[in-house]
Structure 1
């Protein structure tokens, strides 16, 4: 009998990841759109706020190191969820406050996004470490796939339901919806974690490394050449992915005339596409259709093509099939990301040091840096292009989408140098009993 968490416990962790995603998707997409369109703020403002919450996540390696030195992870996750829920509620309140008092609202938003970053770093990193430690090696890849799919499902469901709840839009309704989602997400996470670690032995005795200073542990992980190469790929691919994240909803609102509820549902459609792409890639893995490396590179190239479609959408206007295009972009993102997760789980558990927390923290920090630069860079580039083009919105957005497509092509090249083909798909396949 395999020690460690069974599939029921893994599904409970998936609920926690879905709860994290439910709060984050509203703060990084819906509030961004409201600031740019309804409040007429420069796109750089929400870009800086979201970039701030990613910058705070540079503490992920340190959190992971702390997790490596301790047995119980639940207090870290619960504490992180509490901070995240508070940040999500305050972010909505700050956005509503900006409509009447711009300065105080922005100051509160800064505090809110700092809390969001702290909460995601603490809860997210600790949850991944818990998976790596408490799930036996044969189940780790399937567990990662299941948890990730549940997170994307949380994105899609929350965006869709919140989009409907926000109509007709008002600042009060915004605060009510976001606060309700934050409280519900915290309660779901609390129930899912209840006594989860009690009585569950570690699947491998002696896996925990001896205590050592953080800098020494970090240096040991960075000395691994394969871990370094994977870190570079994570940074490049997430930079390409995140640059479109903050401008897609404003693009749909400004160029296609979508309202707040419609753009929120568009974001939900994109996340639904990500879910579909992940399932497709996992099914391909079960049937051994292609290697992990091929799906990673192919997903990056498909993402570049979908972004090329958005460039065409900016040129054509409302006649372009925007919703199918966005869905295809999400599916391509999902395909490459599930393949990358397979590599991540393998690399996290490799090595006799067993420092899964530090390894995941390093990759989480690389992703956070990429998302911070991508969010701020994408928003700033759209503002700059708009100024250079004399206020022309569609060409400004199209130029940013084109630059992101080039980044995805570069990521595809890097992907061919990251994951060797050996036994790839067994690491990314869907859970099996």
Structure 2
């Protein structure tokens, strides 16, 4: 039985909950460590790298649910509870840092490991559940919907936490973190309740060791090609994440507020791109049928072009329309990202066996590792180039041009991705169901 739109949106509550907790740890606690506690910025960077470092376990989490008859709700709820425990422990570690940096850091390490393990277990099995139960024709639109809900969760948490944390105190941070985690757990329970009352699909499940499954999957040329594409595209996607605002300040002379607004324009463009893909799979589907591969190729191609344009425009900051350039980049990023999620779900459900969990885990691990590596390489490359050349514009623009080329390579790789197989599902795209 395929999921109706109300049930898809209900599962989106889980994605919203995951984003709400993660942004609290990677943004709010990051700022507290660097600003209020005057810690070096590398400290939260290393702690976040621990979170990314656990993501190679995603295929194992998916395989665990596969071997348990495809029951994913326990893994999702358990993952959210683990994530919440890690976030609350991280808030407590930040409190300890105020009196003892060594003890606080020692407490933060296991807390961020829990955060990584929780997001890996819950996130992998959430997408695997969607892959198994969303009609093939709906998958790109469903990916857009749940990602839009995640962005809403990020924004809502940022605004709410910002209001509740003033004036700042360690106790207030712990209380706010606990409250947000409690709400997130409740939303997750609402999201998964009753979603697995019927079997997802009739397919055999061998009782096979994880290593054997992983080797079989990697031997599949479609899976291997798509995993390589995911890694390349998501690496390019995240290379600019931490250097966009410094670029705006150093090259375009923007203030903190102006560069923050520029970053917001990128997110606004990404949101519009996601909405366009969502609309194409729902309200416009009867008139316009765009294959997922076309969205992916177009999004990567436009992303690469926007980055190359930004590299050129950075050489002429006085006249370059940087705001439309950044909005276009965000729009293209949003299109390709959610279309890639839709393709992930389609490929995850292929095959004679029900192995959605381990397949989605493999794709998710490639995505998460590329994100972490991209954040590090982008900042490192910008620092190295600024040390080697006298011009900040040339330094940043070299990085953006390289990122653009990687996106263009990803676009070429996207052409090699076959469309996921689609089974007929009459009326699957009716949004009012």
Q: What is the TM-score normalised by the length of structure 1? A: 0.82
Partner of 1:13: 11
Alignment size in residue pairs: 422
Distance change in 2, residues 1:88/1:393 (3 Å): farther
Partner of 1:283: 279
Alignment of 1:13-412 (within 5 A): 13-32=11-30, 44-71=42-69, 72-92=71-91, 94=93, 102-135=101-134, 140=139, 142-162=141-161, 177-197=176-196, 200-205=197-202, 207-248=203-244, 256-258=254-256, 269-284=265-280, 286=285, 287-288=287-288, 290-308=290-308, 311=311, 325-388=325-388, 396-412=395-411
TM-superposed deviation, 1:140: 4.8
TM-superposed deviation, 1:226: 0.8
TM-superposed deviation, 1:346: 1.8
TM-superposed deviation, 1:336: 0.7
TM-superposed deviation, 1:154: 2.4
Q: Deviations over 1:248-304 (max 9, x none)?
A: 456567763326xx8777655543432210121343452436543332122112223
- Supply the distance in 1 between the matched residues of 2:32 and 2:254 (Cα, whole angstroms): 16
Distance change in 2, residues 1:59/1:356 (3 Å): same
SS in 1 for 2:241: coil
Deviates more, 1:116-125 or 1:311-320: 311-320
Distance change in 2, residues 1:113/1:105 (3 Å): same
SS in 2 for 1:353: coil
8 Å Cα contact 2:236/2:404 also seen in 1: yes
TM-superposed deviation, 1:228: 0.8
- Supply the distance in 1 between the matched residues of 2:36 and 2:96 (Cα, whole angstroms): 13
TM-superposed deviation, 1:93: 5.0
8 Å Cα contact 1:60/1:125 also seen in 2: yes
8 Å Cα contact 2:142/2:342 also seen in 1: no
TM-superposed deviation, 1:81: 0.6
TM-superposed deviation, 1:10: 2.0
Partner of 2:416: 417
TM-superposed deviation, 1:177: 4.7
Deviates more, 1:125-134 or 1:16-25: 125-134
Q: Cα RMSD over matched residues?
A: 3.7
8 Å Cα contact 2:144/2:277 also seen in 1: no
Q: What is the TM-score normalised by the length of structure 2? A: 0.82
TM-superposed deviation, 1:318: 9.7
Distance change in 2, residues 1:382/1:243 (3 Å): same
